[in-house]
Amino acid sequence: MNTEVQRQSKPSPHVLVADDDLPLGTFLRRQLESESFHVNLVQDGELASEALTRDTYHLLVLDLNMPKMDGVAVLNQVRPKLPNLPILVLTARTQVEDRVLSLESGADDCLLKPFSVSEFLARVKALLRRNPYLPGRPLQVGDLTLDGCEYRVERGGKRINLSGKEFALLDYLMRNARQTVTRAMIMEHVWNMPFDNSTNLVDVYVKYVRDKVDTPEFSTQMIRTVRGVGYVLSEN
């Protein structure tokens, strides 16, 4: 695979935007998607907490004023579980005490509304540069390693050559190691498309990756089918 293809296929950061202001949230999603980020938008704190429990994200953009569970409550719930997740808080509250509370509750940065798009994107990118889960950092599950910087996959010290989409699929499975992921989740995060029951695209690509990762020379099959649900990658 040449370098240009590798750059085009490299996995993109996944960002969760939690804001009950739908026009603003939609606008931010479009701006982030224009930067090649994968974005999920939710409109209340409970949905944000559920999304962070269910899926893997590289950044949380969190509004303080939300229904069901406000931003500070989300911070208090999420930060102990995801200590390395970068969190950018958005707020219209002008009191310094509110921003201080956000930072003390676990936010990494706080941006006061209204703000410019350029400043928002600059802060997002700055946080992602510090994110230990940013795609490109080496991942390891058992004897399987994936290095996004080198675009390299090895198992037991043996090099495994993957296409761009196969690499993105394995990256997603490894980031969710030991957790069952559904076909719909894989389609959304790897292809950035809604799941279509009429296609077996996910199953075909899982087989491609499995045929390369789980060859007969290895005693343990790492990618397993969870019947009726999806797939799980595990070292045992």
pLDDT of residue 43: 92
Question: Can you tell me the distance from the alpha carbon of 61 to that of 34, in angstroms, rounded to the nearest whole number?
Answer: 16
pLDDT of residue 16: 94
Instruction: Give the fold, CATH level 3, of 3-129.
Output: Rossmann fold (3.40.50)
Instruction: Give the fold, CATH level 3, of 139-233.
Output: Arc Repressor Mutant, subunit A (1.10.10)
Count the neighbouring beta carbons within 10 Å of the beta carbon of residue 223.
19
The tokens for 105 are: 């509750």
Say which amino acid occupies 107: A
pLDDT of residue 51: 87
Greatest mean pLDDT among 10-14, 82-86, 152-156, 198-202 lies in: 152-156
* pLDDT mean over 152-173: 89
* pLDDT mean over 15-19: 94
Contact 106, 76 (CB under 8 A): yes
Mean pLDDT score of the chain:
84
Lowest mean pLDDT segment, chosen from 112-121, 160-169, 190-199 = 190-199
Q: With cut-offs at 50, 70 and 90, classify the pLDDT of residue 18.
A: very high
Query: What are the residue boundaries of the structural domains of the chain, listed by start?
Result: 3-129, 139-233
Question: Can you tell me the distance from the alpha carbon of 144 to that of 197, in angstroms, rounded to the nearest whole number?
Answer: 31
Report the alpha-carbon angle 5-6-8, nearest 5: 65
Q: With cut-offs at 50, 70 and 90, classify the pLDDT of residue 7.
A: very low
Q: With cut-offs at 50, 70 and 90, classify the pLDDT of residue 6.
A: very low
pLDDT cut 90: percent of the chain above it: 42
Question: Can you tell me the distance from the alpha carbon of 167 to that of 152, in angstroms, rounded to the nearest whole number?
Answer: 9
Closest by CA to 57, choosing from 73, 74, 206, is 74
3-state secondary structure the chain: CCHHHHHHHCCCCEEEEECCCHHHHHHHHHHHHHCCCEEEEECCHHHHHHHHHHCCCCEEEEECCCCCCCHHHHHHHHCCCCCCCCEEEEECCCCHHHHHHHHHCCCCEEEECCCCHHHHHHHHHHHHHCCCCCECECEEECCEEEECCCCEEEECCEEECCCHHHHHHHHHHHHCCCCCEEHHHHHHHHHCCCCCCCCCHHHHHHHHHHHHHCCCCCCCCCEEEECCCEEEECCC
Residues 6+ apart with CB under 8 A from 112: 91, 92, 94, 99
pLDDT of residue 193: 73
Question: Can you tell me the distance from the alpha carbon of 45 to that of 18, in angstroms, rounded to the nearest whole number?
Answer: 7
85: Cα separation from own chain's centroid: 10
Contact 58, 128 (CB under 8 A): yes
